[in-house]
Amino acid sequence: METLDELQHRARVEFVGRASVPILLQTEDSQSPWKSWGSGAWFRVPQASGPDRLFLLTAAHVVLDSAGKLAGNLFVPVSRPGATVGSDTVPLRAVGVATFVTAHDRSGPDTEHMDAVVLEVRRDLADRILAGDWGVLDSDNIGPHAASEGLDGVPFLLCGYPEQTSASGPGWAANAPVHVLGSRYDGDVTIEHGFDPDIDLLLERPDRDYDSSDAMPPLSLRGVSGALVWAIRAGDVPGIWHPRRGVVIAGHQVSATPTGYIRVRRGVVLARLIQRAAPEIADEIEARLEGRVVG
């Protein structure tokens, strides 16, 4: 029989899987027309009156084309988790309005440098997503800066949709999220565009299967860019326990070396863009980033 801690951990992992959103690329190959291009997550902003606002969080390089616009050949599923193609899959450009910041706008973080973007979902799609079986995040999942260092010694958890494990055919695509546990990487670093400890976090590439603990060959993480990396809250969580409240956004994955490390933008980067896109919760996010109790 599983212990309470084991049941709670399994519930957290299951929630993180439902919170992961596949971003699909439509190709010109008629026999394999779809592939996993990136990953993201939904984030809810409650409203005092009227329906809640909803945002898609991901990496900027996943969704922006060379002109800095939302790419026209990307799609996301709406009504249920999983990389499925059908009536519930819509073009990314039709999802809503993106909040990203250029290097010339000194009032906010440079999106190209930070590699982060938040996309507000239009009302009719937001209603369908919120009514579905997705794991939807909110400000409870914004943690103190310490979340980027891990919580209570528990490894970080990365969850996304790799291209390597996806398959597609005319009118269909199939994939499932992979869960990767990772500890901080402290080896040699060769990063082409520079390493900034204030916004960068490096995790070791896993060498064990999450479920069986058996040794595994290196997994290609193409398609996982934009996926959230989580710090797991171990032990008791104040208030009514829910798996959503058992995880904190530690950052989002932006790149990886074949065998060395995974590069993550710390959670503060997405938090700053959420503050910009949803000023009604800016003060609450600021308090959570500083580790103060809110509510």
Q: What average pLDDT does this structure show over 115-135?
A: 91
**d(Cα 265, Cα 88) in Å, to the nearest integer?**
30
Stated length of the chain: 295
How confident is the prediction for the chain on average, in pLDDT? 79
Amino acid at 72: G
Are residues 38 and 59 in contact, defined by beta-carbon separation less than 8 angstroms?
yes
> Do the Cβ atoms of 52 and 215 come closer than 8 Å?
no
Tell me the percentage of the chain whose pLDDT exceeds 90: 25
How many other CB atoms are found less than 10 A from the CB of residue 1? 4
Residue 212 CB neighbours (<10 A): 8
- 196 dihedral zone (left: phi>0; alpha: psi -120 to 50; beta): beta
pLDDT confidence of residue 215: 58
The arithmetic mean of pLDDT across residues 123-147, rounded, is 86
Provide the pLDDT for residue 103: 41
pLDDT tens digit sequence for 212-236: 565 556 666 777 899 999 987 765 6
When pLDDT is cut at 50, 70 and 90, the band that residue 74 belongs to is very high
CA-CA distance, 221 to 210, in Å (whole number)? 15
Is residue 206 predicted with pLDDT exceeding 90? no
pLDDT given at position 283: 94
Distance CA 173, CA 82 (A): 9
Q: What is the DSSP string of 173-210?
A: EE---EEEEEPBP-S----TT---TTTEEEEEPP-B-T
Q: What is the pLDDT of residues 10-36, one digit of tens each?
A: 888 888 889 999 998 888 877 777 788
Find where tokens 């590699």 sit.
115
pLDDT tens-digit readout, 53-63 = 999 999 998 98
User: Which of 41-45, 48-52, 105-109, 198-202 has the lowest average pLDDT?
Assistant: 105-109
pLDDT in the model for residue 200: 86
Residue 157 in this model has a pLDDT that exceeds 50: yes
User: Does residue 205 have a pLDDT over 60?
Assistant: yes
Distance CA(214)–CA(262), nearest Å, equals: 20
**Topology of domain 4-283, CATH:** Thrombin, subunit H (2.40.10)
Q: Output the six-digit token pair for 100.
A: 């990203």
3-state helix, strand, coil in the chain (%, to 5): 25, 30, 45
72: how many CB neighbours lie within 10 A of its CB? 10
End-to-end CA gap in the chain = 36
Q: What is the pLDDT of residue 101?
A: 52
User: Is the predicted pLDDT of residue 132 greater than 60, yes or no?
Assistant: yes
At 41 the three-state DSSP class reads: strand
Q: What is the DSSP string of 246-295?
A: GEEEEEEEEEE-SSSEEEEEEHHHHHHHHHHH-GGGHHHHHHHHTT----
- Residues 6 or more apart whose CB falls under 8 angstroms from that of 27 comprise 33, 34, 35
Question: Counting Cβ atoms within 10 Å, is residue 96 exposed (0-12), middle (13-18) or buried (19+)?
Answer: buried
